[in-house]
A and B are shown apart, each in its own frame.
Chain A
Amino acid sequence: MEVTDLAAVSRARSGDSDAFRLLVEKHSRVIFRVAYRMTGNEHDADDVVQETFLRAYRQLDSFEERANFSTWLHRIAVNCSLDLLRARGRHDKNRTPLTDGRDDEEREVEIASSDPQPDRLLLSAELQKHVAAAMEKLSGNERTAFVLRHFEGMPVEEIGQTLGIQVNAAKHTIFRAVRKLREALEPLVRPNPCNT
């Protein structure tokens, strides 16, 4: 598969836009998922996907063929996401700290389709709010490292490459992220003594 990516990059570099299209088709959904996890907002994630591929196209010459194209693309995507989050932090400081751009009602409707019990719906929506709020408390690096390790299953070495840090530092960044999440969310996951 990686050979295919490299071949497509090589052709795209020589001006073959169809080759670049293959790369977009192969990676866009994964990049959307990463972007959504990073930004917590669907529309922002769509923007990040566009920007990621645009930057990738413009920087194709800087891609080293011994590197992994997917890792390289992830790096661009997280940088785009961090740029966006920084911009959002500057311009939207008073924004309610959440979530994916949808209001509670929308969330509840979405959950309702998979689980019809009303009290469960409210609980799920509430939990998601807490999770989103906890994620927003992570620093850019922590968030990136956590998203790539937890959701994308990226090896620590590649996370280190993506963030431009050593492997041990990447491991420690993941740990810090988990600790912050634990601090914020542990009260929600404690086993109920009445049920035990």
Chain B
Amino acid sequence: MQHMTEEQLVAHYYHDDDAPAAAASHLLECAECRAQYETIRRVLTLVGDAPVPERGEQYAGEVWTRLRWKLGARKRRAQWTSFVAAAAVLAIAFFAGVWWHMRVAPPPPAERAAVGGGATSIQPVAATRQAQDRVLLVVVGDHLESSERMLAELANANPKKDFDVSSGRAADLVASNRMYRQTAATRGDQRIAALLSDLEPILVELSHAGKTLSPDELAAIQKRIESKQLLTKVRVMTAQPAPPTNSNSL
């Protein structure tokens, strides 16, 4: 009688053998193979008895809680990356606009006459600054309109009920607000920079507020919006006329 190999015995133990009935029959007849098989079975039973620490029903929730933070961070990083790209495009557009405006638009006749004329040469500088201000306004226009919508929702919300916050939207606004505020400050556009500085703490607070604002939190924010006349200031700024194109060159 040919004995089973150790590999065949292991395969039989795991039901991975090609002819299990023949193997079973052989084990009934052959004491030597049966003893070998019994040893393998005992060893594997001993290994299988090694305990695994229990993880309760709440384990999945714990895993998710830790994991969600990491997935969120990855998502926020992606959002941040795309925001930086968008901000770069906007900044390039802004400075290109300023450059283009300075090149294309000649000074008005009065200013042209004053060029090189002592104290009156301040006028073209002021005109250029005003034009830059307007270009910046166009660039930040979308941002201010989005902020205005959010402020209006807050200002008009029922102070006796919870307010649903879109914290993701607020976080995006915070990021763009910072970029525009810094650009405006660098350019010396103090009016825009000041408005964005007033706006930023509200946006930051909303971005950190979680899903809802309680009536007390909502009332506090409404009070701050009102005391700083933020909504009015934003509306005034967004209502400013668009920068002149080539009208000065006519």
Contact = CB atoms under 8 A, between A and B. Distances in A.
Contacts of B60: 24-26, 28-29
B10 A175 contact: yes
A17 B39 contact: no
Contacts of A17: 68, 71
Interface string A156-196: 10000000000000011011001101100110111000000
Given A17-B68, A156-B16, A32 B59 contact: yes
A171 B40 CA distance: 16
Contacts of A131: 46-47, 50
Given A32-B59, A175-B10, A186-B43, A24 B64 contact: yes
B54 to A, nearest CB: 9
Contacts of A132: 50
Interface size class of B (residues with CB under 8 A): 20 to 34
B39 A189 contact: yes
A54 B64 CA distance: 10
Interface residues of A, number: 44
Given A49-B63, A150-B48, A175 B42 contact: no
A124 to B, nearest CB: 9
B62 to A, nearest CB: 9
Interface in A49-77: 49-50, 53-54, 57-58
B64 A25 contact: yes
Given A20-B71, A29-B59, A37-B52, A179 B6 contact: yes
Interface of B: 6-7, 10-11, 14, 16, 39-40, 42-44, 46-48, 50-53, 55, 59-61, 63-64, 66-68, 70-71, 74
Given A33-B52, A110-B51, A189-B39, 20 more contacts: A17-B68, A17-B71, A21-B64, A24-B60, A24-B63, A24-B67, A28-B63, A29-B60, A32-B55, A32-B59, A49-B63, A50-B63, A58-B74, A100-B53, A131-B47, A171-B7, A171-B11, A174-B10, A182-B40, A189-B46
